[in-house]
Amino acid sequence: MASLTARECAMCTLSLLNFAFVFISGADFIRFVSFRAIYHNITGETTLCQDSVPWSEALQDPSVLKALSVDVALLAMFTVQHSLLAWPPVKQVCQSILGSLNRTAYCFTTALALQILMHYWQPVTSAPCLWSVRQAPWSVWFPLICFAVHFFCWAIIWTTLMMFDYSELLGIKQVYYKYLGIGEPLSHKSSQAQRFLSHFRHPVCLELVVVVWLLPALSLDRLVLALTMSVYLVLAHSLDKQDLAFLCEQLSGKVQLFSEPTLSLDSKEK
């Protein structure tokens, strides 16, 4: 195997640094969207809302309107970035300029937009909560239930991402394949797999919807976040019967693959 050139070393370094940045951003997002809100409910360290303030007064409060304006702008920034760079004409231009680093750049800008959103997000604490579980014993038990459900959902999300070729999703495999001279990773997948990925590039839809809505207390800013993410996730894929049939076939193959070692061991014992 030929040695790496300086350009190829730089590309590999950039893809690996991007992987670390995206991984850290993903961990920060889990803390931001999930466990931080539950932690505040369990400890009561931070006041999430003011139930004594009527809605008519809260919606006229300049601080509430300012916070909501900032949050809506941040969500608009993230959705525009995430959608614009995935738009075929823009994607083709970026591909022609960046080559095998196109997917890396897309993931980097997505993680950067996510970091900006989390850093500048404005909690709305001067308005009532849409719901708040505060009656004993549910004030203790329900946050713990939420924590367990969130943990389970994030475990499913990370497992699903690994099954969906995580290295290709983050752009690492594109750089590696470029070095080997064997083309794009998607070109080596079946036509069914390519079709499925084009319709369902976000394999975390149901679990993430559960995470953004299932909380002991839902503040006004969290409602804006949950609504925006839910609508975006619903519109981001267009699965049909052929895609579902392909997915069922893949899952069946995975189950059979994991069951084969057990069967072989049983046959050896006999």
270 residues of the chain, pLDDT tens digit each: 456 677 778 888 888 898 899 999 999 999 999 887 787 655 554 467 787 888 888 889 899 999 999 999 999 999 999 888 888 898 889 888 888 888 888 989 999 999 999 999 999 888 888 888 877 777 778 888 999 999 999 988 887 777 667 777 777 778 777 777 777 766 656 666 666 665 555 556 778 889 999 998 888 999 999 999 988 887 766 555 565 566 666 666 666 666 665 444 444 444
| Confidence at residue 32, expressed as pLDDT on a 0 to 100 scale | 92
Give domain status of residue 187, yes or no: yes
Give domain status of residue 270, yes or no: no
Give domain status of residue 257, yes or no: no
Give domain status of residue 264, yes or no: no
54, two tokens: 């009527």
Report the alpha-carbon distance of residue 254 to residue 258 in Å, rounded.
6
* Overall number of domains in the chain: 1
Give domain status of residue 216, yes or no: yes
pTM of the model: 0.79
Q: How far is CA 242 from CA 176, 214, 219, 238, 245, in A?
A: 31, 32, 40, 11, 5
Give domain status of residue 98, yes or no: yes
Give domain status of residue 52, yes or no: yes
Count of residues for the chain?
A: 270
Report the alpha-carbon distance of residue 207 to residue 185 in Å, rounded.
27
Burial state string for 12-31 with b = 16 or more CB within 10 A and e = fewer than 16: bebbeebbebbeebbebbbe
111, two tokens: 């993680």
Q: How far is CA 263 from CA 44, 249, 254, 255, 256, in A?
A: 52, 20, 15, 12, 10
Q: Which domain holds residue 223?
A: 6-239
| Confidence at residue 266, expressed as pLDDT on a 0 to 100 scale | 47
Strand partners, 218: 131
